[in-house]
DNA sequence: GTATGTGGTAATCGACTGATTACTTGACGC
DNA sequence: GCGTCAAGTAATCAGTCGATTACCACATAC
């Protein structure tokens, strides 16, 4: 509840803004989000957001790059942690679900970027990020495996973004689909969703 | 090139607008699209779009419902056409890819709706449309099959929306992923993409 | 103390957008 | 001919948003 105008260094403030922006962009999409909403989510004024990032475009691009690297890092750690080649797929899958649970905005921002491929600034960054993730998966999976893995990831993103996760109790098939998509991690994720309500 | 103000009946005009809106919303997203862009794409003035649909919200909702039913109809036809239970999955998959090829805006509008689940008007419609498609798949597939199927559909949507289809020649892995996701239908789809350039 | 640089905001501007209003044009019944 | 209704538009309004400008507060150096 501090309302003191606590001054932080510009780089630290950038981090705060990027984190808030990931949530806002993830929820509202690029066009639907405003620099003012990002600013309020970060606890500062709108002009300062623009000054630190130059443009709404550039802010979103930086969010995209940041989130893409976050996914890559999580995958790398999961890959490194699994010495057995047979367990690597389960580990990487678990890493993705964990990322979903702890930082929903990350995945949703990525998703928002993917479906803006037509944009001359955002499109190239989104495509490159997507392919970097696929390439990383291919270092430990066959093409068919990697395709199915990333497909399931897109489904998970869609389930979260559409708000179907919060309707898991409505309709038998909703719960069935969620259970099928998340496997034994479903309970975990549902708890995570309920937590930040 | 006709610039005569050809008058059509209001219901027919609504169809034109809905078709144009599916393309515009699919390309730019809900917030990114404007009623004026839809109007120009349909060859009429912006106020008339608003008058026929009341609200941008309602126009998008109607597009969503329309496109959802289009997918359902395509699936139903594919299911009906396949007497053998073993071939039904391939047939439904082919129906989806064909839908992608002939009417890209349909799938992209759906996708745009899915990731706007937070919106109080759009969210419920999108979720209901999504689950109706899943339910239909479940009449001919096991849960695991249906989940994988719809996951691959989400991947295909993402690949198209991100613009990766147009970059199939850049990077070996891009082509590999596309080939893996579309199977033997890849050539067909790429031709379809190149056609409406 | 005063100059200087850094973190930050209030006020505002111009462009855009969804919606409204008032108007025009033409077909059809009588 | 004339009233009426449907199809459609030009003009415009009110709100929003990204960006700019001009300013403030406070530290630290000298």
pLDDT at A28: 97
Q: Is the pLDDT of residue A134 over 80?
A: yes
Q: Tokens for A61? A: 């691009």
Mean pLDDT of A44-70: 98
CA of A57 to C1' of C3 (A): 37
Q: Is the pLDDT of residue A1 over 80?
A: no
Three-class SS state of A87: coil
B142 class by beta-carbon count within 10 Å (0-12 exposed, 13-18 middle, 19+ buried):
exposed
Distance from CA of A196 to the nearest CA of B (A): 15
CB A49 within 8 A of CB A10: no
pLDDT at A4: 47
pLDDT at A6: 83
The verdict on a CB contact (< 8 Å) between A111 and B115 is yes
Residue to test with chain B: of A148, A158, A164, A181, most B Cβ within 10 A: A158
The verdict on a CB contact (< 8 Å) between B143 and A180 is yes
| Long-range Cβ pairs for the range B188-193 (8 Å, 24+) | B188/B97, B188/B101, B189/B97, B189/B100, B189/B101, B189/B165, B190/B165, B192/B100, B192/B101, B192/B102, B193/B101, B193/B104, B193/B165, B193/B166
C-alpha–C-alpha distance, residues B62 and B30, integer Å: 13
Of the candidate ranges A23-32, A38-47, A143-152, B103-112, the one whose mean pLDDT is the lowest: B103-112
Phi first, then psi: what are they for A170, rounded to 5°? -95, 115
Distance from CA of A77 to the nearest CA of B (A): 22
CB B78 within 8 A of CB B99: no
Residues in chain A with CB shorter than 8 Å from the CB of B29 are: 29-32, 115-116
Confidence band, pLDDT 50/70/90 cuts, at residue A2: very low
pLDDT at A5: 55
Task: Delineate the domains of chain A, giving CATH numbers in brackets.
Answer: 10-162 (1.10.357.10)
pLDDT at A86: 84
- DSSP 8-state class, residue B117: T
Q: What is the mean pLDDT of chain A?
A: 94
Tell which A residues from 137 to 176 touch B, by Cβ distance under 8 Å. Answer: 138, 143-144, 146-148, 150-152, 154-155, 157-158, 161-164, 167, 171, 173-174, 176
Beta carbons within 10 angstroms of residue B83's beta carbon: 7
- B45 CB below 7 A from strand C atoms: no
Of the candidate ranges A56-70, A94-108, A182-196, B15-29, the one whose mean pLDDT is the lowest: A182-196
- Full pLDDT tens readout for chain B, 197 residues: 444 458 999 999 999 999 999 999 999 999 999 999 999 999 999 999 999 999 999 999 999 999 999 999 999 999 999 888 889 999 999 999 999 888 889 999 999 999 999 999 999 999 999 999 999 999 999 999 999 999 999 999 999 999 999 999 999 999 999 999 999 999 988 988 887 76
pLDDT at A197: 61
Distance from CA of B193 to the nearest CA of A (A): 14
C-alpha–C-alpha distance, residues A122 and B168, integer Å: 18
Identify which of A152, A163, A181 has the shortest CB distance to residue B123: A163
pLDDT at A193: 82
């Amino acid at each position: 509840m501090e309302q003191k105008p606590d001054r932080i260094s510009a780089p630290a403030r950038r981090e705060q803004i990027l984190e808030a922006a990931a949530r806002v962009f993830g929820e509202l999409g690029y066009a639907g989000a405003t620099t003012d909403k990002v600013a309020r989510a970060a606890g500062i004024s709108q002009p300062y957001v623009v000054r630190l990032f130059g443009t709404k475009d550039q802010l979103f691009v930086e969010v995209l790059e940041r989130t893409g690297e976050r996914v890559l890092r999580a995958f790398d750690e999961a890959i490194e942690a699994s010495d057995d080649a047979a367990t690597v797929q389960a580990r990487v899958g678990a890493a993705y679900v964990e990322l979903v649970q702890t930082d929903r905005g990350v995945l949703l921002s990525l998703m928002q970027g993917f479906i803006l491929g037509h944009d001359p600034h955002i499109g190239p960054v989104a495509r490159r990020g997507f392919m970097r993730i696929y390439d990383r998966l291919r270092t430990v999976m066959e093409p068919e495996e990697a395709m199915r893995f990333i497909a399931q990831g897109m489904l998970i993103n869609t389930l979260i973004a559409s708000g179907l996760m919060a309707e898991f109790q409505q309709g038998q098939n909703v719960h069935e689909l969620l259970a099928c998509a998340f496997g034994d991690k479903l309970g975990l994720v549902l708890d995570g969703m309920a937590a930040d309500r």
